[in-house]
Each structure stands twice: as C-alpha cells, then as structure tokens.
Amino acid sequence: MILAVLLLSSLLIWLDNTILTTAFETLADPVRGLGASPSQLQWATGSYTLVFATLMFTSGALGDRFGHRTVLATGMAVFAGASVWAAYAGDADQLIAARAAMGMGSALIMPAQVAILMWTFSGPARATAIGISSTSAGVGIAAGPLLAGVLLGHFWWGSIFLVNIPIAVLSLIGIATLVPNFRSPTPRPLDPAGLLLSISGLAFLAYGLIRAGQVASWSPVSVWGPIAAGVVLLTGFVLVELRHRQPSFDPRLLAQRMFGLANVALGLLMFAMTAASFYGAFYLQGAREFSPLQAGLAFSPTALGAIVGAPLGVRLARRWTLRVVTATALTTAGLAMGCNMLFGLHTPLVFNEIAYMIQGLSIGMVIGPVTGGLMSVLPLERAGAGSAVLNTVRQTGSLMGIAVGGTIMSLAYRHAVDSSLSGYPEQVQARARISAEQARHAAAAIHQPDLVRVANDAFIKAMHISAAGTMLIALCGALLLVIALRPDRQPAEPVVQDNRVKSNL
C-alpha cells in the first residue's frame, strides 16, 4: 500500500511533464493559448527543471530533520497549489513563475519518495520495488499526451494543469493514512551556500544557452557572459560541497566509476529525450497539422514501449548482465532518435510509430534497471545522498536538453528560413524568423500560403539537425555505460607450481 502511494506521487510528476510537451503548440498560439515564443516555452520547462534539480538535495536534508512523510506531503500541497496558479496564468511570464513553483513541489516529492521506498523495503524486494516504481514513468508518459489531447480538444489550455488536483488529493490522503514518518537518526545539515551557488549557476548557464537562440548568435556578451558565470558558480558549488563532511550533494559519489559514469549516462539520456520531445511536439502538431489528441495517440507507442521496457530490462539483466542489456538498449534508443533525420512532412505514419515504439522500449530498458542497480550498490545510510545525486544529474540533463536542444532548433530554423523571406514585408519576416508557428499565423494574416510551405521546410531541416545531435548525445551515454558497468578485475590467485610445471612452462 505504501508503494502504491509512492507510485501515485511519482506518476503526478511524469504526467505533468508530458502533458506540457503536448500543449506546446497550443501555448504558442496567440489565439487559443498565450502566444508564447520558443524561448518562453523553453523557460516554461526550464524553470521547473531548474528548481527541481537544485532543491532536491536540500529537500533530502529537510526529510532527515522533519521526517520524509512531512516533506512528501508538503511537496504535494505545493505542487497542487502551483498547478492552480499555472492553469490561470495570464501570460507566458506568469506561467514560467508558476512552473518554477511546481518544480519546488516536485523537488520536495522526489527525494522523500525514494527515501521512504528505501526505508520500507530491503534485500531483493528493494530492487523489485525500485523497478516497479520506475514503471510509473512509463505510465505517466503514456497517459500524459492522451489526457492532454482530450482536455485540449474540449477545454481551454489551463485544464491540463487542473488535472493534477485530484491526483494530489488522493496522494495526500494515502500519505496521511499509510506512510510512516521515517527520518534519519543522523540528519544532514542544511546547505544554504550550496543551494545558492547551484541554483544561480544553473540559472545563468541556462539563460545564456537560451539567449543564444533568441539572438541567433553565440558572440554577444549577453550569451557567453551568463554561460561563463554559470560555469564559475557551478565550479564554486562543487568546491564548497567537497569541503563539507556531510554535503547535501556529494560530488565524491560521482568520482566512483560505476556510480559517476552511469549517472552521467542517465543525464545524457534525459538530455536527448527532452530535446527530442521539444521538436517532436511541434513536428506533429505544427508541421503535420495533427490535433493534440492525434499527436497524443501518435506518441503512445513511445509510452507503451517504456512501460514494457522497464520490467523487461530488469528481467534480461538477470539473465545476461546489466552492462550488456542497458548499453545495447541505449545504443538502440539513440539510433531510433536518429530516425527523425529521415522523417518529413509526408512520411507514412507507420514509420514514425515503429521508431517511437523502439525508442520507448529501449529507454524503459535503461532507466529502470540502471536506477535500480545504482541505488542497490549504496548502503542504506548513503541512500539519501545517492538519490539526491541521481535525481539532480537527471534533472540537470533535462534542463540542458531543453536549453541546448531548443536553442539549436531555433538557430537551425532561422538559418534555414532566412534565405526564403526576401519577398515578404519586414514585419512578416520578423515574425517568421521567431518560429514556424509565428510564420504560419503571419501567413494566415496576409493570405500567403507559400509562407507556410517555407516555414515547414525550414522546420524540417532544423529538426534533422537536432535529431542528429540527440542521436550523438544518446550514443555517448551508451559508451559511458559500457565503461561504467565494466566488471572489476579480480586479483589473480597465487599459484603454487612444482618443478615439473615450471619446466613445462
């Protein structure tokens, strides 16, 4: 019953992420949505992920002090309240702020959920519980796009956030009635300096990367300045954490070959997944003119594959090895992402669906088994610190995926569309350079359907470039898994040889 409550809590986080991705095209619409620009959509996801990534290790320390059930319930209440704020946001900037508040709720939920799971289960049951918990990601990915399609087809865009409320209420009831208030006998100290350095460092880094897409250049001070400041602040964060005896975020764990490299591999996978989902939503709903529900149905093979892949990966890893199964699966996922380089405006949908199914199945076979393997090698007293590192690296990968992936998409689109805009008025050219969505609305306003074709062609070229990048990132993650999960060499046993053996040698 406790595991069921934890699954419901985890489902809420994954459901919200996929719902928002499906709503990108609607939010970009100035009539049906908020008229959000690509950079504002990047920040709508990035602000959530930024706060999520940087507050998790602090919330773990809060759970040690006040009890993980208390922190879990607080996070659920914050998430529900911020969901109402997001639903009734008056403009894109308000939505970004509400999403940051939702990230705060998620940051309180995730470490508490993992800690409660680790305290509740032990031995082989713990690994099984972690594997089952990982399937909630697949369920959320599956239900999110479909639910978003139904809601956007019948209600206004804010309904995609209000759907979080009944799930949060059920979770709070279960938390209050079923979950013990576990807490560590030796609570970790709070780390305000580390919190300030990490959140400011990632914020500067993300701002500089997203700003590059807005100005279509890497050379302005407004681009490289924040990036450099972010790198310096994050370096300071690592140095500060290394000086603590019990840091909230322990960089020493990343120095271990298996734990460190496998974590980075998961971060790269999240990077590739987030970048691919960013352009994937615009590809189906924008360029191919699918409705939100049709797009949700088109993405369902990815989610169904992830649901099947998580338990399948655990079972195959028992038969062979974690290294063989997960490295092969991540390689396959990268190649499936690369298939987007072959997709166009008129690609038969069956080819898209096959690639999406393979991608989801492969990702499911990586995330669940690798997460379970990493947490199982840590002693119970290090579970909280390990969970903080694991989730922080994954969310940082997602943040970089939306920042870098979205910026590459914007730069590639602007470069592709520029040469075809010379015959249009300056105001129309300015709108068309922002995004393909803005170009389509400008084309409708001046009754120029040719501009739609120009924008779609430029978008497809940009998507092909982004797909190549996501494929390479995922393949780098697969290579890191091969290195990380390499078995340690056992020292050779001393052999006592007689004279006959020596002479034969």
Exposed e or buried b per residue across 203-233, where buried means at least 16 C-beta atoms within 10 angstroms of its C-beta: bbbbbbbbbbbbeeeeeeeebeebbebbeeb
Q: How confident is the prediction along the chain (505 residues), in pLDDT tens digits per residue?
A: 888 888 888 888 877 777 887 788 788 887 788 888 777 887 888 788 888 877 876 777 787 778 888 888 999 999 999 999 999 988 888 999 999 999 889 888 887 887 788 778 877 777 677 767 766 666 666 677 778 888 888 888 889 899 889 989 999 998 988 888 877 666 666 777 777 888 788 888 888 887 887 776 778 888 889 889 989 988 988 888 888 776 767 777 777 788 888 889 999 998 998 888 888 878 888 888 888 888 888 888 887 887 788 788 878 888 888 889 999 999 999 999 999 999 998 999 999 999 999 998 998 888 878 877 777 666 666 666 677 777 778 878 888 888 888 888 888 888 888 888 877 788 888 888 877 878 888 887 778 888 888 888 999 999 999 999 999 999 999 999 999 888 766 544 444 444 443 333 3
The position carrying tokens 């998961």 is 266
Residue 390 CB-density burial (10 A; 0-12 exposed, 13-18 middle, 19+ buried): buried
CA 179/CA 158 separation, integer angstroms: 32
Phi, psi of 82 (to 5 degrees): -70, -30
3 state DSSP class of 235: helix
3 state DSSP class of 230: helix
CA 217/CA 225 separation, integer angstroms: 13
pLDDT score for 240: 85
Q: What is the three-state SS of 283-351? A: HHHHHCCCCHHHHHHHHHHHHHHHHHHHHHHHHHHHHCCHHHHHHHHHHHHHHHHHHHHHCCCCCCHHH
**Could you say which of 1.10.3720.10, 3.40.50.740, 3.40.50.2000, 1.20.1250.20 is the CATH number of the domain covering 2-191+244-484?**
1.20.1250.20
Query: Which tokens in the block code for residue 482?
Result: 């091969």
Q: Are 399 and 53 in contact (CB under 8 A)?
A: yes
CA 191/CA 155 separation, integer angstroms: 43
3 state DSSP class of 7: helix
Phi, psi of 344 (to 5 degrees): -135, -165
pLDDT score for 502: 37
CA 87/CA 329 separation, integer angstroms: 37
Torsion-angle region of residue 123: left (phi > 0), alpha (psi -120 to 50) or beta? left
Phi, psi of 182 (to 5 degrees): -60, 145
Q: At what angle do helices 383-418 and 38-66 cross, to 10 degrees?
A: 180
CA 392/CA 384 separation, integer angstroms: 12
Q: At what angle do helices 449-484 and 257-282 cross, to 10 degrees?
A: 170
Strands (DSSP E) contained in 451-501 are none
CA 357/CA 353 separation, integer angstroms: 6
Q: What is the largest CA-CA distance in the chain?
A: 96
Q: What is the three-state SS of 420-433? A: CCCCCCHHHHHHHH
HSE (CB half, 13 Å, CA atoms) of 205?
Answer: 20
pLDDT score for 505: 35
The alpha carbon dihedral of 121, 127, 128, 129 has a sign of: positive
- Count of beta carbons in the 10 Å neighbourhood of residue 383: 21
Global confidence as pTM: 0.80
pLDDT score for 467: 93
The position carrying tokens 């689109």 is 413
CA 164/CA 82 separation, integer angstroms: 10
pLDDT score for 76: 92
Q: Where do the structural domains in the chain lie, given as residue ranges?
A: 2-191+244-484, 192-243
496-503: Cβ within 8 A, 24+ apart: none
pLDDT score for 493: 45
User: Which of 278, 288, 266, 318 minimizes the C-alpha distance to 481?
Assistant: 266
